[in-house]
Structure 1
């Protein structure tokens, strides 16, 4: 049996405990997970790709079967380049599913070899999104229980 390698793509701007929950649970299904930070030129992220990769590397340093990387271009091309054939995605709500279903369908059209595995977020994190974390931090709210410590510190610096 070959290793089951999954690619977990996203903007991770910033990484939250919800993202890390999906990752941790994904490791019970897959032998190795590559976290792929999307460099999307159409978006205006709060943190650079390098900062996001660094936050993820810090948060996953204790996990031997996780690699953190970044990419631009088509996800299916990246997945193929990494010799993987599974995309791991987290779902919080029905609205996530509708969007993710469209992405999954186009990816399947572009490369029929690639499967998408959807994992429901834990109830504890079902409300959590990077956008909400940034907004809470911007207005001085505590994000201590929502993001890893280096991210919390960086958010506090950005919104001082």
Structure 2
């Protein structure tokens, strides 16, 4: 397993590489020191959302790679501070008829603009990517703890039988 994962930058990349080599999900989880559910979610999640996917692009790169979008476009600011965004940008940013944008300044002074619709889509993607599957996380935790207790009990019985 060490040879397969050597040089891979992320846990997700390691999980996918080990899965490709035919290792079981439980073995991958133990090897990487993570939960089985993490391995499962990584393997069942659509790979198009990952930089390591077959397309080599993440959803965040979709805007930059869009055929209508220029990598850089100069936008003028008039004396009253108004910007005029090209139609292509307005369409790709999902700016509605109201023209509303959410703006913030990053630590490095970069202005970030996002439409409310794009912000909602972004949150939905984040939730979907971090989903814990079906069922209640509490029920999953209880089931995992019970399984651990059974394993510990079995190990204790084996140890007692050897003594």
The one of the two structures with greater contact order (alpha-carbon pairs below 8 A, sep at least 6) is 1
Greater radius of gyration (CA): 2
TM-score range, shorter chain: under 0.3
The answer to which structure has the higher strand fraction is 1
TM (normalized to structure 1)?
Answer: 0.21
The answer to which structure has the higher helix fraction is 2
TM (normalized to structure 2)?
Answer: 0.21
